[in-house]
Amino acid sequence: MFHLPENIPLKFTTSLGPWSEIYSPNDGKLLCKVQQGTEEDIQNILSHTKNIQKTISSLLPYERSEILKKTAQNLQEIQDQLAFVIASEGGKPLKDAKVEVQRAIGTLELCAEETLRLSGETIPMERSSSGKDHISFTMRDPIGPVLAISAFNHPLNLIAHQVGCALAAGCCVVLKPAPATPMSAHFLEEALKKAGLPSGGLRVVLAEIPLVEKLVSSPVFDYVSFIGSAKVGWNLRKILAPGTRLALEHGGQAPALIREDADIDHAVTTLTRGAFYHAGQVCISTQIIYVHESLFKNFLQKFKESALNLKVGNATDIETDVGPLIRTSEVTRLQSWIEEAIQQGASCELGNKISGNLKQYLSPTILSNVPSHSKLMTEEAFGPVVCVNSFRDENQVLDDINSSDYLFEASLFTKNISRALQIAKKISTMTFVINNHTAFRVDQMPFGGHKKSGLGMGGVKYSIEEMTRLKQVIIKI
């Protein structure tokens, strides 16, 4: 077991900005102090980014690939420490934090591989008479400097995606990690330096919102990657400099549909994981479960029993299944949404209990028969709260899912693969999972949402392509 010394000074910038204290959501323990960026830091970043970009874009693909592979190896050497850091600063259960570290290592290895595959294509010019005696091909150039703004819930793997993909594409990166989880960013930065990344290839800054907005609105950056709330993300879009490309990864309601022919025991086990993993603080955490009326009572009883077996507690305990929410205010918000749903006619079947000296632990909570206009049915909960409703008309449920403002990921449980594929054609979410929970993800797959759930496409290969510009070369022969 690792024990982090208190008051670790993390100095990402060179100024004399104020220091902020970072406390663990598990027990309020002081973890570190982080120096905040100042106006001077922001101006320094903006002044030097274009020159740093020239250095990074001059690295050949094999050189970028080697740096990323060495970075992955460096993280592998400190994997246990990293997992403890993630559990301490972000409240993710240690067993899941260990998985995140391995995913981050795999993400960087994928970035290293895709760097070597990054290429264009030959254009068949002689398919038309005007193309006669011409040869054409495309190539991919780095888009330019990238600004990455990240989230707390996967503090290492999310930044591995944002930073790793940018470097793979040949772009320098300025990273603003989530204020609550800066330690993971510190370890990634150190691993990249040790791997030989040229100075300035990654710069990490923590700053107040007005200073971050100066970065976002600057024409210095050709690409902005934002992971976080929809409200913040769509507002950032309004202040972008003309020509800056934007990627937004928000969240959703991640509904699951259980047909009358589903394997109930499998659905219960799987959805317990999908709903309560990391206390529901996942953008594709299962939030709404529609169960056919013939299975409703049986499923609900088994689902409650399964959730009751989850251990709520300090995330650094290897036995913990559900850790704290990142802030007490999130518990307060969720409880107000739960109370609203109950007042509107929903039944609280399980949970809704607060614990811990910081009041940041909310026990797994299950509500049934939740009205469609409740916040828990129309907004992203981002917590350990699940709505379980019965249905008779399957097509009506599909219409309800498709009418949502958040179309990220949905899942279906059935033994009828033919019907499952028919539903796959009808459903409007970006990702549709059959016989698994909505929070399922591997890092090589495309990842993103429609409507309010996001903009652009994540996933290693897809992000790297978005961080490049297509260039066409035509030769008259």
Instruction: Specify whether the CB–CB gap between 174 and 147 falls below 8 A.
Output: yes
Q: Count of residues for the chain?
A: 477
Out of 89, 114, 189, 249, the active site residue is: 249
The model's pTM = 0.94
Looking at residue 130, the DSSP 8-state letter turns out to be: G
Q: Say how far apart CA 142 and CA 394 lie, in whole Å.
A: 46
Average pLDDT of the residues in 227-249: 94
The superfamily in CATH containing domain 255-442 is Aldehyde Dehydrogenase; Chain A, domain 2 (3.40.309.10)
Average pLDDT of the residues in 433-450: 94
Active site residue 249: yes
Out of 114, 283, 349, 380, the active site residue is: 283
Alpha-carbon distances, residue 213 vs 239, 469, 474 (angstroms) = 8, 25, 40
386 DSSP β-pair partners: 366
Q: What class is the 8-250+453-476 domain?
A: alpha beta
Q: Say how far apart CA 467 and CA 174 lie, in whole Å.
A: 14
- Please report, for the chain, the start and end positions of each structural domain, with discontinuous segments joined by +: 8-250+453-476, 255-442
Nearest residue to 416 via CA among 292, 297, 280, 230: 292
Average pLDDT of the residues in 441-455: 93
Nearest residue to 379 via CA among 288, 248, 273: 288
User: pLDDT at position 1, please?
Assistant: 38
Active site residue 283: yes
Q: What is the pLDDT of residues 339-389, one digit of tens each?
A: 999 999 999 999 999 999 889 999 999 999 999 999 999 999 999 999 999
Q: What is the pLDDT of residues 245-295, one digit of tens each?
A: 999 999 899 999 999 999 999 999 999 999 999 999 999 999 999 999 999
Continuous segment of H or E residues that includes residue 21? strand 19-23
* Matching fold, domains 8-250+453-476 and 255-442: no
User: pLDDT at position 18, please?
Assistant: 87
Q: Dig out the tokens for 168 from the structure.
A: 């793979």
Alpha-carbon distances, residue 139 vs 93, 117, 471 (angstroms) = 44, 12, 5
Write 78-83 long-range contacts (CB < 8 A, 24+). Answer: 78/187, 78/191, 79/105, 80/2, 81/2, 81/187, 82/156, 82/184, 82/187
Q: Kindly indicate the confidence band of residue 2, based on its pLDDT and cuts at 50, 70 and 90.
A: very low
How high is the mean pLDDT of the chain?
A: 95
Q: What is the pLDDT of residues 131-163, one digit of tens each?
A: 999 999 999 999 999 999 999 999 999 999 999
Looking at residue 322, the DSSP 8-state letter turns out to be: B
